[in-house]
């Protein structure tokens, strides 16, 4: 047993982190110009084709992809990171950066709708829409031939997408349903990146911002909730890595339960630490808060996942006691 990343893996993750940070800063969601070349550069660097579906074993180990995904989550690039890596594993054609036309609120990567698609995640300018139908055929739209209808407050690329004509690309290389646990585990990793990022920023703020003559981070009322968030992020991260070592639907549900809870706590705590500043449009914290909140029902909700885990645990025990 060795539950650690080795030196090479740490280096890979650091490289990914600097690419994401440079090309896809979280501020892209609130920037005036909607241009978005970053995704193309990230794709060129290879970070969107880590899942190789052509062999039965992933060329890049899934825990390492989770490590990279966590860095994508730090700049709120998690949803498109997951979608593009899935597409790399599924598509025979090499696609430009894309988002997925599927209702991200269900455990389903496929959709038979046409024209309008509810509940899409990771929708950003510069990306093409891709649909996978129930016959596991892939279809691609054009980069500028779609519109997003969203709550204007949400501002992080979630909503209903309308598309015109789409080109058929052929059948998926791998069983799409079988990819759901991998998608869920990767998504969980990205959520933890988002949570870690805001907590890091909150730590910096709490160390600098002074009230009553001392940095506010010296107050236990401020530092203890941050410690709680740090602990939960650690536990959730371990859960993601364990799931990545054996990506079953149940392991994916466990990882999602922990990651969603940790990301939500980290963003809530950080918002409180930032005080009024965190409430502004200018500061990116609201983007993370919205991402963590809207991810709660991504693929499944926590109650359904918890009931699934409980049922499986009870079944195992019944079998064991017979």
Partner 1 sequence: MDIEETPAEARFRQEIRSWAESNLAPLGKQRVSFADRLAADRRMAEAGYLGYAWPEQFGGGGGNPIYASILDEECSAVGMPRSLSPSRFGVNLLGPVLMAYGSDELKSQLLPPILKAEQLWCQGFSEPEAGSDLANVRSFAIDNGDHFLLNGSKVWTTQAHEADWCFALVRTDREAPRHKGLSFVVFRMDQEGVTIRPIRQMTGDLDFSEVFFDDVRVEKHHVVGALGEGWRVAMATVGAERSFGQMSRFSHYVSQLQWIASTLSEIKNDPRLDMWQAELGQLVVDVQGVRDLSFKTTSLAAAEEGLGVLPSIAKIWWSTTHNRLLDLAEDVAVATGRDTSYWYTEWLRSRAETIFAGSSEVQRNIISERGLGLPR
By CB under 8 A, the residues from 210 to 229 that bind partner 1 are: 214-215, 217-218, 220, 223-224, 226-228
Q: Per-residue DSSP letters for 251-297?
A: HHHHHHHHHHHHHHHHHHHHHHHHGGGGGSSSSTHHHHHHHHHHGGG
Q: For residues 233 and 264, is the Cβ–Cβ distance under 8 A?
A: no
Would you give the DSSP letter of residue 29? G
What does the H/E/C string look like for 40-108?
A: HHHHHCCCCCCCCCCCCCCCCCHHHHHHHHHHHHHCCCHHHHHHHHHHHHHCCCCCCCEEECCCCCCCC
Would you give the DSSP letter of residue 115? S
Nearest-approach distance from CB 49 to partner 1, in angstroms: 21
Nearest-approach distance from CB 307 to partner 1, in angstroms: 6
Does 135 interact with partner 1 (rule: CB under 8 A)? no
Contacting range for partner 1; rule: CB under 8 A; set: 5-13, 92-100, 114-122, 155-163: 5-13
Dihedral of CA 152/153/157/160: which sign?
negative
> Which residue lies nearer to partner 1 by CB, 145 or 306?
306
Does 94 interact with partner 1 (rule: CB under 8 A)? no
The residue within the footprint of partner 1, chosen from 114, 207, 211, 280 (CB under 8 A), is 207
Q: For residues 294 and 243, is the Cβ–Cβ distance under 8 A?
A: no
Helix crossing, 285-294 with 180-208: angle to 10°? 150
Nearest-approach distance from CB 184 to partner 1, in angstroms: 14
Q: Give the C-alpha separation, 1 to 223, whole Å.
A: 34
Nearest-approach distance from CB 170 to partner 1, in angstroms: 35
The residue within the footprint of partner 1, chosen from 241, 252, 266, 292 (CB under 8 A), is 241
> Which residue lies nearer to partner 1 by CB, 277 or 306?
306
What does the H/E/C string look like for 122-179?
A: CCCCCCEEEEECCCCEEEECCCCCEEEECCCCCCCCCEEEEECCCEEEEECCCCCHHH
> Which residue lies nearer to partner 1 by CB, 146 or 237?
237
Does 10 interact with partner 1 (rule: CB under 8 A)? no
Nearest-approach distance from CB 205 to partner 1, in angstroms: 11
Contacting range for partner 1; rule: CB under 8 A; set: 43-51, 105-113, 188-196, 254-262: 254-262
The size of the interface with partner 1 (CB under 8 A), counted in residues, is: 50
Pick from 319, 208, 313, 204: which is nearest to 257 by CA?
Answer: 313
Supply 47's token pair: 């970070």
Nearest-approach distance from CB 214 to partner 1, in angstroms: 7
Nearest-approach distance from CB 241 to partner 1, in angstroms: 7
Supply 242's token pair: 């364990």
Site string for partner 1, 290-319 (x = CB under 8 A): ------------xx-xxxxxxx-xx--xx-
C-alpha dihedral, 175 to 181 to 184 to 189, nearest 10°: -120
Nearest-approach distance from CB 52 to partner 1, in angstroms: 18
Does 14 interact with partner 1 (rule: CB under 8 A)? no
Pick from 64, 49, 290, 96: which is nearest to 189 by CA?
Answer: 64
Does 249 interact with partner 1 (rule: CB under 8 A)? no
What are the residues binding partner 1 (CB under 8 A)?
1-6, 9, 61, 63-64, 199, 203, 206-207, 214-215, 217-218, 220, 223-224, 226-228, 230-231, 234-235, 238-239, 241-242, 245, 254, 257-258, 302-303, 305-311, 313-314, 317-318, 321
């Amino acid at each position: 047993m060795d539950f650690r990343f080795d030196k090479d893996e740490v280096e890979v993750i650091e490289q990914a982190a600097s690419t994401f940070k440079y090309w896809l800063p979280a501020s892209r969601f609130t920037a005036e110009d909607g241009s978005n070349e970053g995704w193309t550069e990230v794709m060129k660097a290879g970070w969107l084709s880590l899942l190789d579906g052509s062999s039965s074993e992933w060329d890049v180990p899934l825990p390492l992809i989770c490590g990279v995904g966590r860095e994508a989550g730090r700049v709120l690039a998690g949803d498109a990171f997951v979608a593009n890596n899935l597409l790399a594993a599924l598509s025979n054609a090499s696609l430009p950066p894309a988002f997925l036309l599927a209702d991200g609120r269900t455990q389903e990567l496929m959709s038979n709708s046409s024209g309008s698609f509810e509940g899409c995640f990771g929708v950003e300018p510069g990306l093409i829409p891709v649909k996978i139908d129930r016959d596991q055929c892939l279809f691609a739209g054009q980069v500028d031939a779609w519109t997003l209808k969203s709550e204007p407050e949400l501002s992080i690329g979630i909503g209903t997408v309308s598309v015109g004509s789409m080109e058929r690309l052929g059948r998926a290389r791998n069983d799409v349903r079988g990819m759901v646990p991998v998608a869920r585990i990767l998504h969980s990793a990205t959520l933890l990146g988002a949570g870690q990022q805001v907590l890091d920023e909150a730590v910096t703020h709490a160390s600098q911002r002074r009230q009553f003559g001392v940095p506010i981070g010296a107050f236990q009322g401020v530092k203890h909730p941050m410690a709680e968030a740090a602990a939960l992020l650690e536990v959730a991260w371990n859960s993601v890595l364990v799931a990545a070592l054996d990506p079953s639907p149940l392991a994916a549900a466990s990882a999602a339960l922990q990651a969603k809870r940790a990301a939500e706590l980290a963003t809530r705590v950080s918002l409180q630490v930032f005080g009024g500043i965190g409430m502004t449009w200018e500061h990116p914290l609201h983007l993370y808060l919205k991402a963590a909140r809207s991810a709660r029902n991504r693929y499944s909700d926590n109650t359904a996942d918890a009931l699934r885990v409980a049922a499986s645990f009870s079944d195992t025990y019944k079998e064991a006691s017979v």
